[in-house]
Every structure is written in structure tokens, then in C-alpha cells.
A and B are shown apart, each in its own frame.
Chain A
């Protein structure tokens, strides 16, 4: 696994010590220490899957993490779905691989896009994301910060239907409501109904429409210029194949004497992990093996900070209007220029109101005469 090797090479090895013994300080072992500590602490990751029913979300999650999270799942019939509301379901599992522990939370959104009237069907989802942010915000601003639980959503996999010509209004609505709060990774679901030419066309279409509607999906970070050519090539391929066209499968079939995950058709066998068949491998590498931490970083640094700034602004503007309200969290007083300008604005507002009243009175007088 080239990616694994890449990370290993960054860790300092004891042989480096031989270099310059006397001037050797020793902080080159910092990465090792970080590694050890993080392994001890364990990682957590929250993944949200969203999309219409029947697009293969649960199958894909199963294929990604190779665990069955949906043991007892009740699928509603069409009649019951006519006026269904969106629910939020959380499944948490602890998985371990080579000593590294991962607490994985999958947030499912059953009922999204299923009803006949889907106006604002993304509202429960945005409320959930905001709730998690708010809870973290309060925890962070509290007095005891020892054990903060990070339930913020780090990544949202959005499943686009392959049966259409591009993005639908409900897709656009959902992504626009969430693109400033969560990293959105769009996927083309059930890609085994598209021939390679159609996949290319659909990906182009979707990329165009994402630009056209001004949706900010998760952008892969630029790789450093001192990486090797191989890695840069991989990175470029990754960027070019977004959105990923994926196929999921719960079953293992025999193909060419090997047992692979795939789907069995009368005309052939689709292998999930075959790069020529679909982009599942790219998605898995990106999500788990290379970019998981980057997703978490962007959530913390960008989305959460935006939320926090917005929240604080709202609170302080309310506070200045109503000074009796206590601040639930410790905040610094605003720098004076802002307060002054606000006062000026308020004075001007008063003046305007008075002048308007006078105008009204004059008009009345004229009318009476």
C-alpha cells in the first residue's frame, strides 16, 4: 500500500541519529510521539449519508467499512412514504485495525426526498448539524473541558441518482443548505447502470451544475510540491474523477476463480473493487486512507469556526440591545469602533424616524386645508 508507506517514511528512524551526534537535539522523534499518543487516544469520525431511498446508501456503507450496521432495518412501503418526514438515525460502532481504534458514527437520514411534497426536507438535517455545533460550542466554552465529545459531522456523502441527466432541484436545495456547514462529497450512486461514456458525460454535467449553482463541495487539498511524482499523479486522478461513481455490494461472488465483492448479472460480474468498473476504491482511499484527517480539520477550522463567529455575533448584538441578558458563555467585549458606529447608526435611525413623523404631520395639515 503506497499510502501507508508514505506515512511511515515521515516518521524518524533511529538511524538518523548517526548523522551528527553532537548537534543532534532529538525533536525529529516528535512524529513518533504524536503517533503513539494518537494511537492511545483513538480516533473518532462522524459520517453522514444522505440521498433518496433506494440509491444504495446502506450497501455502500457496508462495503466501505465492512461491517453491517443496519441489522434490523424496516423499509417503509410506498403508501406510508407519501407524507413521510425526515428522521435522523445515528449508528455508532467501535472498530479496530492494527491497534488503531476508530469510533465510527454513521448518521443516516431515512425519508429524505421520499415524500410527495419535499419542500424544506433538508431542514431536520441542517438543524441536526447546527445542534452538534452548538453542543460543541457550549462544551468548549464551559469550565470543565476534560472530556469533550466531538459529535460534529465531519463528512456528508450525498448520493446523486444516476437515472437523471444531472442534479435535480432537491439535490441543489440540499447541497446549498449544507455546503457552508459540512464537507459535502457528492457521489453518483448505482453506477452500474451507466456505460463509461455516459458516466463521463454525467460527471461533467454534475461538475458544471455545481459551478453554476455556486455549491461549495469538499475540495481535496493541494499536495505539497515536494511529493513524489507518483503521488502527484494519484492526486490529479483523484481530483479529475470527482464526483465518484460508486457501486456497493453486500455479497461476495466468484469471478475468475477469485472471491470478490460484486454483483452478479446474467451478462457479467461487476467487481466493486475493480478500478475499471467503478470509483469505489478511490472513494475508500480518499475517505479513509488519505483524507479522513483533512476532513476533520476542515470541519474544525472552517465550518465550526464560521458557525462560532456567526453565533457570537448574534449573541453580542442581542446583548447590546438588551443589557440585562447574561451571557451564557465568556466572550470578550467588542472593540470600540464597532460599538460607536452602532450608536451612530442608531442615532441616525432616530433622526430619520422623527423627520418622517414631521413629514407625515405636514402632509396631514395640507390635506386638512
Chain B
């Protein structure tokens, strides 16, 4: 017993033995249980339509699902490509389908189409990212999650009859690793049968030679292998879409009425619409969803996680723990944040210092200027003061000399000529002059105690009035006339 136990633990997993059953157990109903569960859950399917404006994307969707999805006509003058997703709830018998149609609006209209593919790739990645985030959550509800990942991309090729356009090639190369691409030749009622055959060969040749991987219908399931193989040879499908009904024979069919004939949408001779519908909806819808999840999504997830630093466990190293790696990343991130904060703070501090220095400089300069000006001012003032003093000294000296002289020569009848002149701001009127002349000296009594004021000459208007006095009159000199009072400042 111990030996077999050891064996069991040392070997990895022994091959399971297949046994035959004695009777009917009943687990063959497992698929049915699965189906009924899925039916109650409902299905979701997301289609991305990429093609030039006006090529017939909306019409084809209407024709495929036999309903009218209300979409407004796009203009040719969009600035850039943008994606417009619209979700509809459809029901057929008891199966509910949540259908999302994503339209690439403005594709192929711009003059410079270098960046046309980018919004599309970004949108697809964003849907994958959302799913990844949901998957990585701690509390997740994947069964309830509305899956918005694009399951199929219908690429509408313009029916030029020659080959693919350069834009088509570039875009399909960017999309082939992210989504299942089914190329379609749109508006196929403009190509005749022989031209169509050559066109299809040319397109497939170009796709193969440029390594573009379009979606191949799966041929491993026996039930559908044959039909899928046949359909693979008919790629790309040349379709015609129409929602109008025309009477052909005695039925109303969906068709386009031309002056030269009627193109029936569901006639296999006229176009490949029936094939497309079979392949896309009736046979391979589930396979498309599976491929999206198992191939494209897994690729995206692997790339994303590798970017984040996760790695699968090698033989030798420890099995990786999401937790640990996450912690490590988080620490790194936080330290990075801190470093950046420090940097910014440092920069801020530096800037503040700089501005402070500048301000100080300016202050200093201002002070200097102020000092300088003050000094100048003081200089000036001093000079003025000096001059004034000089002048005063001179006048004093002069007066002293005069006084001294007059004291010396008291006997002299001549009085010192004290010359001052009155300059009145008012012009002396005749009257005033007369009054002044006739007023006896006593009348014109200055407030000077010394007395004899003698009018030297008859004052005339505008003239300077000369008075003599023997002493220095005080300032201001005050003359009292009987009628008038005039104040004169002593202007030497």
C-alpha cells in the first residue's frame, strides 16, 4: 500500500483509463443543461463594421438581421475616425441576443489617412482592457458581465475591380491580431461575374502575400467541416444589401430594381449574401466568440501582463504570486510618486529662493537710489542754506557798515540811504500815488519807530517808491495810511 501511495504521489498524473458503462447513466444531458443555461442567460454578440462612408454598412446590417437599426447617415467631412457603438436587444424564438454594432464613422474620408486605423485599434484594446480589469477584480461577476469585446470585424472592400486599396491593406494588417476579420466586397452589383472572379483571386493573393490573417471558418468540427471548407474558398463574400422589397414572379423579395434588371439579395447567383448569413450567424457565431476569447483576448492579456512585469513560473524559480508582484509594483509606483513630489517641491523651493533674491536685489537698488537722491537733496539744501547765509551775512555786514557809518556821521544831515524798494503787486493808481505824495511823512507811519520817512520822489504809477529811513526797518514793513493799509515785505 505504501509503495503504491508513494508511486501515486511521485508521478504527476497517471493516464485516465476509459471504461465502458453498464447501463444508461444520464450524463449525456450535460450539453442540454448547458444550452438551457445559456439560453436563459442570453447571448451577446458584437460586430465591428469598417469601411468607407456610404459603402453600405448600415444597409447590410439591416438586411442581415432583417430589421431596421436606426442610424443617421454620416457625412464625408469628419475630422477623424470615431467609433459609434449601438446596442440592440433582439429575440428569435426563445433566444435572446444582445447585439452591439460598432460603426467606424469617417473611415477613409480624410485626405491624410495615416492615423485612420488608430481609433479602431484603441477601441478594441479598450474593450479587452475592460474585460481584463473585470477579471482581475477581487469581487468579480464574470457571468453577469456584459461582454463588449468585438467578436467579428466585417471589413468592407470597395468594388474597384482591380485590387485592395492601400488603406485597406494597412488597416487589416493592424487588426488581424486583435479581432476576427471577415472581408466583404460591398456593393457587388457593380461587378460582373468574370471580373468578380479575378477580383477575389487578386484580393486573396494580396492578403496572403502581405501576411494578413483573416478569419478561417473552422474545419475541425465534423458537422460543419465540409460546408466551412467550401465557404472558405468563396472568401471574400461579394454582397448586396437592400431593405426594399420588389415583386419578382409572384413574391415580394428583397432586391434592388434597376432599369436593366432586378438584383435579388437572396439569390445565390446574384450575390453571396446567403453565404455570409449562413457563415456569420447560423453556423459560426459561437466559434467567433470562442476565438475572440481564447485567441485574441488571451494574446492581449499576455502582452498586457508581461508589460506590467508578471511572468509565468519557470522550472526553477518560485511560482509567482500575483499578490507579491502586485505589492512590489505598488511600492515602486508609490516611491516613484514620492520622488516626483520631492522633485516638484524642490523646484518650488528653488523658484521661491530665486524670486526672493531678485526682490532683495531690487529693494537694495531702491534704497541706494533713495539714499542717493536724499544726499543730492541735502547737498542742494546745504548749498542753498550757505548761499542764504552768505547773503544774510553780506546784508548784515552792509547794514552794520551803514549803521556804523551813520552813527559815525551823526552830524551829517544826510541820512543813510536805506534803499529798499517797494514793489507792490498792485499797480499804484494815480490816486494812491497822489495820496502817498501828499501824505505828510507822519501820516505814512510805518511801524518803524525810527521816524523820518521821506518820500524821495513823487511816486508815479508803476514806479518804484523810494523811502529813506535812518534805521533798518523791521520786516515786514507796515505802512498805515489813513485810508489804506498796505503791507510790504522787505525785499532786499
Q: B-contacting residues of A (Cβ < 8 Å)?
A: 52-55, 75, 77-79, 81-84, 114-119, 121, 161-170, 173, 190, 192-193, 195-196, 263-271, 274, 276-277
Contact = CB atoms under 8 A, between A and B. Distances in A.
Given A54-B160, A165-B75, A114 B269 contact: no
Contacts of A117: 111-114
Contacts of B193: 264-266
B264 interface: yes
Contact of B206 (A78, A115, A190, A269): A78
Contacts of A78: 163-166, 168-169, 206, 210
B258 interface: yes
B404 interface: no
B162 interface: yes
Interface stretch (B50-58, B60-68, B285-293, B373-381): B50-58
B114 A266 contact: no
Interface residues of B, number: 50
A152 B260 CA distance: 40
B397 to A, nearest CB: 45
Contacts of A167: 76
B163 A77 contact: yes
A263 B110 CA distance: 32
B377 to A, nearest CB: 18
A267 B269 CA distance: 9
Q: Is the interface of B mostly helix, strand, loop or mixed?
A: loop
A210 to B, nearest CB: 14
A263 B190 CA distance: 10
Contacts of A79: 166, 169, 206, 209-210
B37 to A, nearest CB: 45
B79 to A, nearest CB: 10
- Among A54, A55, A162, A163, the one with the most B-chain Cβ atoms within 10 Å of its Cβ is A163
Contact of B109 (A81, A168, A190, A193): A168
B332 to A, nearest CB: 40
A163 B54 contact: yes
Interface in B116-172: 116, 158-170
A277 B162 contact: no
Nearest to B77: A169
A79 to B, nearest CB: 6
Contacts of A77: 163-164, 206
A101 to B, nearest CB: 34
B53 A263 contact: no
Contacts of B109: 168-169
Contacts of A263: 192
Contact of B260 (A52, A53, A270): A270
Interface of B: 52-56, 73-77, 109-114, 116, 158-170, 186-187, 189-190, 192-193, 206, 209-210, 256-264, 269-270
Closest 10 CB pairs of A and B: A54-B160, A268-B261, A193-B190, A164-B54, A267-B261, A268-B260, A78-B164, A82-B166, A81-B166, A78-B169
Contacts of A163: 52, 54-56, 158-159, 186-187
Contacts of B116: 116
A274 to B, nearest CB: 8
A74 to B, nearest CB: 11
A369 to B, nearest CB: 11
Contacts of B53: 164-165
- Among B170, B210, B258, the one with the most A-chain Cβ atoms within 10 Å of its Cβ is B258
Given A82-B166, A115-B166, A119-B111, A195 B269 contact: no
Contacts of B160: 52-55
27 contacts: A54-B161, A79-B166, A81-B165, A82-B170, A84-B166, A115-B166, A116-B112, A116-B116, A118-B111, A118-B112, A118-B113, A119-B111, A163-B158, A165-B76, A166-B76, A173-B111, A192-B190, A192-B258, A264-B193, A265-B193, A265-B261, A267-B258, A267-B262, A267-B264, A269-B261, A277-B259, A277-B260
B261 A116 contact: no
Contacts of B73: 165
Nearest to A198: B256
Given A78-B163, A162-B190, 7 more contacts: A54-B162, A78-B206, A79-B206, A116-B114, A119-B112, A268-B258, A270-B260
A102 B28 CA distance: 84
A276 B260 CA distance: 9
Contacts of B54: 163-165
Contacts of A169: 76-77, 109-111
B259 A53 contact: no
B189 A265 contact: yes
Contact of A116 (B167, B209, B257): B167
Contacts of A75: 162-163
A195 B257 contact: yes
A131 B94 CA distance: 71
A267 B112 CA distance: 39
A115 B108 CA distance: 11
B190 A190 contact: yes
B112 A168 contact: no
A164 B260 contact: no
Nearest to B76: A168
- Among A83, A121, A267, A274, the one with the most B-chain Cβ atoms within 10 Å of its Cβ is A267
Nearest to B256: A195
A274 B261 CA distance: 14
A297 to B, nearest CB: 34
Contact of B162 (A53, A83, A192, A269): A53
A209 B203 CA distance: 34
A266 B264 CA distance: 10
B222 to A, nearest CB: 34
A32 B469 CA distance: 133
Contacts of A161: 158
A195 B260 CA distance: 10
A204 to B, nearest CB: 14
A85 B53 CA distance: 24
A270 B258 CA distance: 9
A263 B260 CA distance: 11
A195 B244 CA distance: 12
A75 B198 CA distance: 14
Contacts of A267: 189, 258, 260-264, 270
Contacts of A84: 166
B187 A193 contact: yes
A114 B167 CA distance: 8
B166 A114 contact: yes
Nearest to B263: A267
Nearest to B207: A78
Given A78-B165, A81-B165, A114-B165, A266 B52 contact: no
A196 B260 CA distance: 11
Nearest to A196: B259
